[in-house]
Amino acid sequence: MGFAKRNRFAWQLRSRTLTLGERTRVMGIVNATPDSFSDGGSYDPVAHGLRLLDEGADILDIGGESTRPGGAGLVDGSEEQRRVLPVIEALTRAGAILSVDTYRASTARLAVEAGAEIVNDVSGLLWDTEMTAICRDLRCGVVLMHTRGRPQEWAALPPMQQIAATVVRELRERVASSGIEPERLVIDPGFGFGKRGAENFELLAGMSQMQELGLPVLAAASRKGFLGGDVHDREFATVAFHTACILAGAHVIRVHDVKAAVQSAKVADAALTW
C-alpha cells in the first residue's frame, strides 16, 4: 500500500519561517467565543491555549466568532476583536505561534499587530473585499480555505459534482487572484463548508489532488457534524479522518484534541517515511 508523497515547504509567516512536510504540524483550536458548536464558553481561552501548547500544538488558532451553520455574522467586528485581541496578546507573550481565525480585514490587521503570525480565513478571502489587500500588506502567513456560499446558505446549496477537481480548480483561481506570495499560503479544502454529508468523504478520497496546486495543505475536520454522532463523541472519528488526510498529503491538521492528534500524526508520519 502506498501513500501520497508529501512535499516540503518553508511557510513564510509574519516574522518567522515554519518548515512543513518533515512532520505533521498540529494547529490547536482556541475558541474565544461563547457560542462555538463544540466548546464555546467552557474554558478560559488563555489557560486553554497554554494547555494545548503543553500537549504539543505547533500553532494556536484563535477565533472569536462561530462559523457553524447559521452562525457567521451574529457578532460584529468590534465584539470579535474584544474577544480575541487580549488572548492573542497573552499567548504571544508566552511565545506561541498564533493564527487568527477571521474573515474580517479589520480583525486580521489588529490581530497581526497584536502578535498573530497567520490569518486563517474560512471564506477564502471572499467575504470581506479588503481582506486580500490587508493580507498582502501585512505579509503574514495565510490559510486560504475553500467554501461555498455562507453558513446560512449551506442547507439550500445544490449537490457538488466532481468535488475534489472542483475544489482544486476554484482554489487555484482564488490563489491566482489573491496576488499573495505563494510562500505565504497554505490551502484548506474546506471540509464541511458548503459540503454536506458524504460529499466530505468524496473530497477526502480525492485529497491527494490538492497537491496539484504546489502549496501546503491544511485539513480541518475536528468534531464536524458529517463525522456523525454527538459533537463530544467525535474524537475517534476526528483522529481517523485526519490520519487519512495526512496519508493523502496534508501538512497541517487543525484540531480541538491536540494530545490525540499529536499521537496519531506520529504514526501517520512514520508510515510516510517508507
Give catalytic residue positions. Answer: 224, 254
* AA identity, residue 240: A
Cα radius of gyration (the chain): 17
Distances (CA, A) of 146 to 103, 104, 141: 13, 16, 17
Strand segments, DSSP code E, in the chain are: 9-12, 17-20, 25-31, 59-63, 98-101, 118-121, 141-145, 185-188, 218-219, 252-255
- φ, ψ at 145 (rounded to 5°): -105, 145
> 86 is written with which cell numbers?
487580549
Q: For the stretch 14-35, what's the b/e string if a residue is b when 16 or more beta carbons lie within 10 angstroms of its beta carbon?
A: beeebebbebbbbbbbbbbbee
Pairing of strands 218-219, 185-188: unpaired
For residues 83, 84, 87 and 89, what is the CA-based torsion angle, rounded to 10 degrees? -120
